[in-house]
Structure 1
Amino acid sequence: MNAPLTANADQGHDPLDGLAETMDRASFAAIAQMTHGLSPATLVQAFSDWAMHLAVSPGKRAQLAAKAVRKNLRLAEHLTDGKPAILPLPQDHRFDDPAWQAQPWSLLSQAFLLNQQWWHAATTGVMGVTAHHEAIVEFVARQMLDMMAPSNFLLTNPVLQQRIADTGGQCLVEGAHLLFEDMVNAMRGDPSPGSDGFITGETVAVTPGKVVYRNRLMELIQYAPTTGTVRPEPVLIIPAWIMKYYILDLSPENSLIRWLVGQGYTVFAISWHNPESADRDLDMDAYRRLGPLAALDAIGAITGAAKTHALGYCLGGTLLAVTAAAMARDGDERLASLTLLAAQTDFSEPGELGLFIDEAQINLLESLMWSRGYLDSSQMGGAFQLLRSNDLIWSRVLNTYLMGKREPLNDLMAWNADGTRMPYAMHSGYLRSFFLEDSLAEGQYEVDGRAISLTALRAPMFVVGTERDHVAPWRSVYKIHGLTPSDISFVLTSGGHNAGIVSEPGHPGRHFRMIERPAQAHSLSPDEWLASAPGHDGSWWLAWGDWLGTHSGEPVSPPPMGAADKGYPPLGDAPGLYVLER
């Protein structure tokens, strides 16, 4: 006789659990494919939140109506006196050409800018709307407006019309050819046109060196010395694993690695493996153990150095902070200093990238990765492009496909197209632990089953933020001041997330600000820091070189390239094998 069902009968294992999860994951993965990882549920929730609160805010609606009247009056005045009713934002160059100053084009551009300003007011400052939903609505409205800008269309763009007249329409033919070429390349997975001029190991990533260690996740490259003596503390470079390491070893004239070797340092760099489906279970702890910790073991054996300077860039900087905090907790004192380049440790205000990260968004990404075992770099690349759609999407459509002019590729652009994949376990854990839970800043991130805290750090730190960073906003990077009592030299440099870091001496137009906060000293707020930090012309590399020198010992003879007798024989020439993986 069958036992009767009880109220708790369904609390045990359900035989349909696995099937249900498989079906749900497949459904969400299909949605993610169609929406490029953007959650429709998040968009619906955000716009519902905004619309419902706006509907019951008569004061805000009256204010918007008054703004609309004033803007129409300003537009009418512009028609009569010709004076600008509104100026574009400093970073908006869509209407720079003098042709936009003549009528009716001036009217179109002014109306667009006033409309854009009105929609910003309409989507922000509505009482009761959550900050995350407000940011999403404002962002989506801006994307829609950018798509409808008069600069994007033939009938409303005088510059494009003149280009067509000058070329007899040939520019449209050339643009169609370029569009077809890009579509074919995308379907085939071929590199961008012009990238054949930037071949890894031949024209970029050419600083001489040897691969001295390899495991399933990384290769460790040791670079050949170019000076008769070197500082006794080697330098370990930990790049982000979302892109290839040679962002710091581009062309010889702008290679940070080559420059650092020339300053008399023994330099090692991690080159990450490009994960495949079989690597789906590699998590953040695997990246820590098989990355920085394995590298430090190899560096110690090869050089005999007791301490190492460590540099982390972007995600590599976050990984370095985690590694350093765990080492400090466990009494491991092998780090002489920490350098963090455009790297976040506090994710409470991650900037616009946080728009793509909430429970619904992560569920879609996890489902997409669940089916593949990894997240392709194109998924993240699409999000980054949306953050700067004017520069990276619509200007490309206009200049390439309508004006028929393809911008020549440079080494940085070629590198940017050479992405890597991210394994399921690592990327899921990274998004949840850091972006959703902010566990590192909260002192709740666990390594080996125990929490770590950045308050344990005592090594001096050199931290760099960039003025126009859409990936790691400098104010977010600056939050490291509130997390550790270490001596921190903070630099704010011109440029964006990548170009601000690739800032070699002699690069025209570069400048930076810098203040050192002594250990245990009071921290300035970001606004106070910005108001008081002295400005300097030129490259921050030079300031970093001086800082690194003050934390290094007297020069000694260079160490050998690898150490075969200690299990670290040279395995081949730089840049190695992993950087060539596609």
Structure 2
Amino acid sequence: MATTQNEGEERLARLNANLQKVEDLSKRLTAALAHRKEADPALSGPSQDLYMQAATAYVAEMMQNPSKLIENQVSYWGKTLKHYVDAQHVLLKGEIKAPADPTPKDRRFSNPMWEEHPFFNYLKQQYMLNSEMISNTVQGLDNMEPADKKRIEYFTRQIVDMLSPTNFLGTNPDALEKAVATDGESLVAGLENLVRDIESNNGDLMVTLADKQAFKIGENIATTPGAVVYRNKMMELIQYSPTTGQVHETPLVMFPPWINKFYILDLKPQNSLIKWVVDQGFTLFVVSWVNPDASYADVGMDDYIRDGYLRAMAEARRICGTKQINAVGYCIAGTTLSLTLGHLAKAGDKTVKSATFFTTLTDFSDQGEVGVFLNNDFVDGIERQVAVDGILSKSFMSRTFSYLRSNDLIYQPAIKSYMMGEAPPAFDLLFWNGDGTNLPAKMSIEYLRGLCQDDGLARGVFPVFGEPVSLSDIKVPICAIACETDHIAAWKSSYNGIKQFGSKDKTFIMAQSGHIAGIVNPPTKQKYGHYTNDSPMTTPDEFLAGAEFHKVSWWPRWGEWLAAQSGKMVDARDLGGPENPVLAPAPGTYVGAIPPENSKTATESVT
């Protein structure tokens, strides 16, 4: 009995000590929040006009079709009342258990207590019923423009997801159980994680998704051997060391997106597309874009094309002694590759022999899920903010894309980190996801206004070096890979853009999975397959209806296509050349830092 009493006193002492730590951490939290930089309010949510439109549509629906709304409400009331009666009935029988639960399965509610404990099950069922009613109400708003209705559905879903009982300590059984089991230590660790994240982001809250100490670029991530063979203010050009005695004559130049770092294509040897390409006997060059600071405010799309695309192509040709190269563009880099190809076509320049596009939009008439952030309420705010900052901050970009998958990339990580006190996992993909880049102010607005909002490329009016370019001018052989569940570049939109290219030789592949996993899909994993259709391009629906499914990765299929565009075999090439000395080992210097003054000094002697 004495031992039990002593244990109880010790636990109480630990609990009180942890509560004192919470008080101390709260002071740090207050100090950290004081450093938060004021941002344009428009970056935090849609304008009030959108909610007014929804309210107006709801009133119109009440007046024009009251029976539909009444039916929805009566159904909700009926389910809610039945649930209450069922719960009371079980309790009156003296049984401490939950009533029957007809709500759909949801992995947020995986703890058995959500199914078995009457309190938690009641919360869960009511939340699910409330969510269903709100969703049905919004979907029933017929007196709205489709684009506005899509935005209302999206932002309503964000509010509903935010209010899930799993997101609050008092209604999260996992967090409560761990707090009790650890005498409050999990809450102290969670608050430490919260304070750390806010301090490291200058007062802003961004959940750390991966253990930042677990990876070091160039040591256990981005390790494919190679060297920087050219550097200017916009990029480093990396040439990768050959692994075969002979290589295809035509080199390949790969342009990753500059919204993130290039090493998504070189995470580790087992899933590195860069290593795989080299192993297939291709001379591979990859652009590593600079991470701009405010000194890059006036850098626009023309600068990326001139000092990035055209320069990388020229250096690769010089090093390899060839007249042509093959090119790859991923996401925004694919969009800009198409601008570059349009410019080259007008100039009669045959530098590019063939082009491959990964998850690329060139027709923005249907902007997909990300389109909810492309209205003037957001873009006007971005324009005002970048005019002050000189850049579009990587934190805004990261937060925007995370909210497209908020339960997976915001709420679940926050629960584990802040409520459970768990350390972030050592996960290479999430490490890369948190290693974002800024965008230059001028380039950001050109892209958002001219390409996303005005659809200038598909309409043939977006200028490159002052002259508009057109998709129909592009005649080189094309291979495009889009991803079935891509939430950034919808595959149907990608298809509609590729269809408008003037090329007679066009191959379209739809890979399973999303924007990243669909591309980083090595053949050895046998995880995701792909669809092909050899018929002429018509509509996305017809493509899918007549498509053949292949259970394997698309990489080998593309490798065969690329080999056919890459000429004869020649002896493997050394890195660099007389005019392209090796400047640094891969993955280079730009991948790890914001430019600043050091990198600019380093480039002046090279350019």
Asked if these proteins are the same fold (TM beyond 0.5), I'd say yes
Under a length normalisation based on structure 2, what TM-score does the superposition of the two structures give?
A: 0.83
Cα pair distance change 1:59/1:354, threshold 3 Å: same
In the alignment, is residue 37 of structure 1 matched against residue 43 of structure 2? yes
Residue 585 (structure 2) aligns with: 573
Q: Corresponding residue for 1:514?
A: 532
TM-superposed CA distance for 1:378, in Å, is: 0.6
Q: Deviations along 1:449-494, whole A, 9 cap, x unmatched?
A: 3221111222222222223322212222222243124333222223
Residue 558 of structure 1 corresponds to which residue in structure 2?
572
Counterpart for residue 143 of structure 2: 128
Equivalent pair of 1:31/1:364 in contact (CA under 8 Å): no
| 1:447 alignment counterpart | 464
| TM alignment of 1:200-215, pairs within 5 A | 200-215=217-232
Return closer, same or farther for 1:279/1:161 CA change in 2, 3 Å cut-off: closer
Where do 1:90-489 residues align within 5 Å?
Answer: 92-102=106-116, 103-187=118-202, 194-486=211-503, 487-489=505-507
Counterpart residue type for residue 313 of structure 2: L
Q: Is the 8 A contact 2:510 2:532 kept in 1?
A: yes
Find 1:494's aligned residue among 495, 512, 516: 512
- Alignment partner of 1:126: what SS? coil
Contact persistence 1:32–1:364 (CA under 8 A): no
Distance 1:267 1:303 in 2: 11
What residue ranges of structure 1 are gaps of 5+ in the alignment? 1-29
Contact preservation (8 Å) 1:351, 1:473: yes
Q: 1:318 to 1:481 in 2, by over 3 A?
A: closer
CA distance in 1, matches of 2:170, 2:309: 56
Query: In the alignment, residue 478 of structure 1 is paired with which amino acid?
Result: Y
Q: CA contact under 8 A between 1:212 and 1:570: conserved in structure 2? A: yes
Letter in 1 for 2:565: H
Residues 1:259 and 1:104: Cα distance change in structure 2 (over 3 Å): same
Segment drifting more, 464-473 vs 262-271: 464-473
CA contact (8 A) 1:60 1:126 kept: no
Larger deviation, residues 166-175 vs 314-323? 166-175
Q: 1:54 aligns with which of 48, 51, 58?
A: 58
Q: Which amino acid aligns with 1:128?
A: N
Letter in 1 for 2:323: A
Distance 1:422 1:510, change over 3 A: same
Structure 2: how far apart are the matches of 1:560 and 1:404? Answer: 50
Secondary structure of the structure 2 residue equivalent to 1:396: helix
Q: Which secondary structure does the structure 2 equivalent of 1:506 belong to? A: helix
Q: Which amino acid aligns with 2:572?
A: P
Helix, strand or coil for the counterpart of 1:258? Answer: helix
Distance 2:169 2:549 in 1: 43
Report the Cα distance in structure 1 between the residues aligned to 2:434 and 2:348, rounded to whole angstroms. Answer: 41
Offset of residue 429 of structure 1: 0.5
Of 71-80 and 329-338, more deviation after overlay is shown by 71-80
CA contact (8 A) 2:249 2:566 kept: yes
Quote the residue 2:5 is aligned against.
Answer: none
Give 2:521's aligned amino acid: S
User: Could you say what secondary structure the match of 1:257 adopts?
Assistant: helix
Quick one: distance in 1 between partners of 2:73 and 2:210? Answer: 46
Q: Which residue of 1 aligns with 2:21?
A: none
Q: Following the alignment from structure 1 to structure 2, what is the Cα–Cα distance between the partners of residues 446 and 49?
A: 35
Cα contact 1:32–1:365 (8 A) shared by 2: no
Tell whether the 8 Å contact from 1:324 to 1:457 is kept in structure 2 after alignment.
yes
Amino acid at match of 1:170: E
Question: Where does residue 542 of structure 2 map in the other structure?
Answer: 528
Equivalents in 1 of 2:114, 2:365: separation in Å? Answer: 41
Structure 1 residue 83, shift from structure 2 partner: 5.2
Aligned mates of 1:383, 1:257 — CA distance in 2? 28
Partner residue of 2:559? 545
Q: Do 2:526 and 2:551's aligned partners in 1 also have CA atoms closer than 8 Å?
A: no
Deviation at 1:368, TM superposition (A): 1.1
Q: Percent identity among equivalent residues? A: 35
116-125 vs 372-381, which deviates more? 116-125
**CA distance in structure 2 between the partners assigned to 1:31 and 1:399 by the alignment:** 27
- Classify the secondary structure of the residue corresponding to 1:484: coil
**What stretches of structure 2 of length at least 5 have no aligned partner?**
1-35, 88-98, 595-607
Contact 1:163/1:171 (<8 A) preserved? yes
Change (3 A) 1:71 1:476: same
Contact 2:187 2:419 in 1 (8 A): yes
AA matched with 2:301: M
Can you list the C-alpha shifts for 1:544-563, whole angstroms capped at 9, x where unaligned?
Answer: 21222233323111233222
Is the partner of 1:440 in helix, strand or coil?
coil
Residue identity opposite 1:539 in structure 2? S
Task: State the alpha-carbon separation in 2 of the partners of residues 61 and 314 from structure 1.
Answer: 45
**Could you tell me how far 1:309 is from its partner in structure 2?**
1.5
Q: Which residue of 1 aligns with 2:11?
A: none
- 1:19 is matched with none
State the AA in 2 paired with 1:535.
F
Structure 2 residue identity aligned to 1:504 = P
User: Residue 488 of structure 1 contacts residue 516 of structure 1 at CA under 8 Å; is this kept in 2?
Assistant: no
Give me the whole-angstrom Cα distance separating, in 1, the residues matched to 2:540 and 2:101. Answer: 34
The aligned amino acid for 2:520 is V
Question: Residue type matched to 1:503 in 2?
Answer: N
User: TM-score, normalized by length of structure 1?
Assistant: 0.87
C-alpha deviation, 1:205, in angstroms: 1.9
Offset from partner CA, 1:325-373 (integer Å, 9 cap, x none):
2212222222222111111111111122221122232221112111121
**Letter matched to residue 194 of structure 1:** D
Sort the Cα spacing of 1:352 and 1:193 in 2 relative to 1 into closer, same or farther, 3 A. Answer: closer
The one-letter amino acid paired with 1:488 is: K
- Cα distance change on mapping 1:212 and 1:134 into 2, 3 Å: same
Aligned residues: 542
Query: 1: distance between equivalents of 2:65 and 2:182?
Result: 50
